[in-house]
Amino acid sequence: MKRVMLILLTVVFTLQALAQDATEIARRAYLKMEGQSQYAQMTMQVQRPRWSRTVKFKFASKGTDYALVLITASAKEQGQTFLMIKNQMWMYNPRVNSLIKIGPSMMSQGWMGSDYSNDELMNEGSIVKDYTHKILGSEKIQGRACWKIELTPKPGKNIVWGKQILWIEKKDYLILKSELYDEDGYLVKTQIASDIKNMHGRIIPTKFTIIPEEEPENKTILTIVDIKFNVNIPNSFFTIQNMRRGMNINFNF
């Protein structure tokens, strides 16, 4: 009897330890892309069967409350800025000198025509806090050994996904692939991260491809040209005055 208890206890503890491991892996992966503040320069390519377009932008954020985006290309959209303070969002267009506060209905439109919606950009549910984690095994992605981890939303959390499966690289804790499933267990979209580079001391993937399962030809590719974490950005940077400066905004941190 005692032995059975012992075995049971061992099993329970091991399972718990495993679960904690999975959560710990997710937490480390999350921290890889997280900083108190950050500055980035990115290129977004939206591919559709009949057209494709490329948008380049600079981006600075502080905590989860402040963010400012400046579009630097294409020529048509150059100078447009987006400012987010807490739950509010503004858009400024220098050509017509118009400042618009973005209402809830506009938030749903894909940002600059991509598969990212304004909504998604503002509400990135934490992959650590809102899910329970389970290691499914190990697999190689792009030749690198990865943990395959299943994320199930905790009850009561406002998550649209039924589950997520993440492939997290074992050495550097990089999320190289993620699959998002709906509540019925069908795959909705896949995100693939590649082109791992050293960006000012952090080793991170710099190319992200999002492939919606229903329309695989409608890809969105996000490339990080430059990114710095934990840079010192004054609060005065995130103001409407600053966003009105358009192309003259100083992103040298």
Partner 1 sequence: MILSIAWKNIWRNKVRSLILIGTIAFALAGTIFIIGMMDGWMKDRNIKVIETELAHIQIHNPDFVSNLSLRDTISSGQKIISQIMKMDFTMAVNGRIKVMAMVSSSYSSQGALVIGIDPDRKHEVTKVYKYLSDSTSKWLDQVKRQNVVIIGRKMAKDLQMVNYMITDASLSTLADMGLPLSIISKLDSLQGKKFHTTTRFYNALEKLLTEKELDQYADLIANSCHSYKLGRKIIIRMQDINGNVVEEAFRIIGVYDTDNDLFDGMYLFVKKPYLAGLLGLSHGTINEIAIITNDQRKVEEYKATLKQKFPGLLIESIFDMDPTMRIMTSLIWIYYAIFEAFILFALSFGIVNTMLMAVMERTKELGMLMAIGMNRRRVFSMIMNESVLLTLTGGIIGIILGYLLVLYTGHAGINLSKYAQQGMEAMGYSAVIYPHASPLLLAETTVLVVITGMLAAVYPAIKALKLKPAQALHTDV
Q: Which range, of 25-33, 77-85, 112-120, 169-177, touches partner 1 by CB under 8 A?
A: 112-120
Q: What are 94's two structure tokens?
A: 């220098």
Query: How far are the Cα atoms of 11, 147, 163, 164, 168 from residue 139, in angstroms, in the given order?
Result: 24, 6, 19, 16, 9
Q: What are 2's two structure tokens?
A: 């005692």
* 117: contact with partner 1 by CB under 8 A: yes
CA distance 165 to 147: 10
* 35: contact with partner 1 by CB under 8 A: no
Residue type, 2: K
CA distance 224 to 203: 12
Q: Which of residues 208-237 bind partner 1 (CB under 8 A)?
A: 214-215
Q: How far is the CB of 158 from partner 1 (least distance, A)?
A: 5
Given 75, 98, 103, 250, the residue binding partner 1 (CB under 8 A): 103
Given 21, 24, 119, 172, the residue binding partner 1 (CB under 8 A): 119
- Closest to partner 1 by CB, 107 vs 249, is 107
- Closest to partner 1 by CB, 97 vs 105, is 105
In the DSSP assignment, the letter for residue 250 is: -
Q: How far is the CB of 105 from partner 1 (least distance, A)?
A: 3
Q: What are 60's two structure tokens?
A: 């600075």
**C-alpha gyration radius of the chain:** 21
Contact 19, 133 (CB under 8 A): yes
- Closest to partner 1 by CB, 85 vs 196, is 85
Given 65, 182, 195, 226, the residue binding partner 1 (CB under 8 A): 182
Binding residues for partner 1 (CB under 8 A): 87-88, 103-108, 117, 119-120, 123, 156-162, 180-184, 186, 188, 214-215
